[in-house]
């Protein structure tokens, strides 16, 4: 039998209507959070939370790793980058380039608090943020079928800068678009003013990132940390190469909308899939783009931050990071929207 869907079929199309009509005995089929223990690639009993939305997002949250977001799928399709590094244990005090030895990918790796990029201010590469334990961990479902998780992460030095990060992660589906929102309230809990270097290392992999996938960022200019012949155009994902190489770009003067958000859009060349990354431009004024075109490594990073990774500002006071006074706070918000190409292009 052909023709338009019946009223009943249309009514049962979403989790919200199923729940409203009393066809779920519990909220668990709609959305939920599952707690488990065990760090991938090791025998360590690390805690992990897995959040899931009906016909939408499934993602890991890592209380032992700065309350970062780990492996992420959208409707069963991998969205995040899956690093070849498997050992997910936190390091007690990462120095030098040890950070790379535990960079397992995932959707969000937080970098900071006293340095990002190369080692500095007594910390190793990309700082300690992703290796700190979370406290006050909580989660709940909301009335619209969304999931919200929260925690506090503190970086405390007896004779140095000390910060508290109160993180909220909210996931919700709105029509054809799934959205993850990370909101961090950063507070200087030390006795002295201190520079705050924080970078949101958002990592995407195939099939969103495929040869020919496009990256759109409206701005005034782009600079590169070095010449990158394997990545001739930052706006187009290149063909994979055999050499171990990477490219890092900084986008200047990224356009800001009326809500104060800047954005980057990624459209897949391999599937009907797109992602929009948005962030609060006033508190995250720098945007970096990381391209890892190596076959078997293959990743794309979108990285809003408080401080630059290279360039003249990096050579200036506090490596270009803003100063946070004792007891003062600032809020960073990052949104990741996922959906079909035509829908996400209108977000």
347 residues of the chain, pLDDT tens digit each: 444 444 434 444 577 788 788 888 777 888 899 998 876 666 667 889 999 999 899 999 999 999 999 999 999 999 999 999 988 889 988 999 999 999 999 999 999 999 999 988 888 999 999 999 999 999 998 877 899 999 999 999 999 999 999 999 999 998 899 999 999 999 999 999 999 999 999 999 999 999 999 999 999 999 999 889 999 999 999 999 999 999 999 999 999 999 999 999 999 999 999 999 999 999 999 999 999 999 999 999 999 999 999 999 998 889 999 999 999 999 999 999 999 999 998 88
The residue extents of the domains of the chain are: 29-133+195-327
Q: For 101, how many CA atoms within 13 A lie in the half-sphere containing its CB? A: 10
Q: Which CATH architecture has domain 29-133+195-327?
A: Distorted Sandwich (2.70)
Q: How far apart, in Å, are the Cα atoms of 144 and each of 17, 22, 251?
A: 11, 14, 36
Question: In this structure, are residues 301 and 247 in contact, taking their beta carbons and an 8 Å threshold?
Answer: no
Q: Token pair 């535990």 is at which residue?
A: 102
- What are the φ and ψ backbone dihedral angles of 27, each rounded to 5 degrees? -70, -10
Q: Which helix (H) or strand (E) holds 180?
A: strand 177-188
Tokens encoding 225: 């940390």
Rg of the chain over all Cα atoms, to the nearest angstrom: 20
Q: pTM to 2 decimals? A: 0.93
């Amino acid at each position: 039998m052909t023709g338009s869907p019946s009223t009943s079929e249309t009514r049962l199309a979403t989790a919200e209507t199923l729940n409203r009509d009393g066809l779920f005995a519990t909220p668990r089929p709609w959305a939920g959070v599952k707690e488990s223990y065990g760090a991938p690639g090791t025998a360590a009993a690390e805690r992990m939370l897995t959040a899931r939305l009906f016909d939408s997002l499934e993602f890991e949250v890592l209380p032992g790793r700065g309350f970062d977001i780990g492996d992420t799928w959208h409707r069963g399709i991998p969205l995040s980058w899956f690093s070849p590094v498997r050992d997910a244990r936190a390091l007690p005090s990462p120095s030098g380039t040890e950070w790379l030895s535990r960079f397992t990918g995932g959707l969000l790796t937080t970098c900071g608090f006293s340095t990002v990029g190369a080692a500095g201010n007594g910390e190793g590469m990309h700082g300690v943020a992703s290796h700190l334990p979370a406290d006050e961990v909580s989660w709940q479902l909301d009335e619209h079928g969304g999931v919200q998780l929260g925690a506090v992460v503190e970086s405390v030095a007896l004779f140095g800068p000390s910060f508290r990060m109160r993180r909220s992660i909210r996931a919700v589906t709105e029509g054809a678009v799934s959205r993850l929102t990370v909101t961090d309230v950063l507070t200087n809990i030390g006795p002295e003013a201190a520079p705050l270097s924080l970078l949101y290392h958002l990592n995407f992999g195939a099939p969103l990132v495929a040869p020919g996938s496009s990256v759109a960022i409206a701005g005034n200019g782009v600079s590169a940390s070095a010449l990158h012949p394997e990545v001739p155009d930052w706006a187009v994902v290149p063909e994979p190469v055999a050499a171990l190489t990477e490219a890092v770009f900084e986008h200047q003067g990224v356009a800001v909308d009326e809500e104060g958000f800047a954005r980057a859009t990624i459209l897949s060349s391999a599937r009907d899939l797109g992602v929009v990354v948005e962030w609060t431009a006033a508190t995250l004024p720098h945007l970096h783009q990381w391209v890892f075109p190596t076959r078997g490594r293959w990743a794309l990073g979108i990285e809003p931050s408080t401080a630059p990774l290279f360039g003249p500002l990096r050579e200036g006071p506090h490596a270009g990071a803003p100063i946070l006074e004792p007891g003062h706070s600032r809020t960073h918000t990052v949104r990741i929207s996922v959906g079909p190409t035509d829908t996400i292009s209108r977000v």
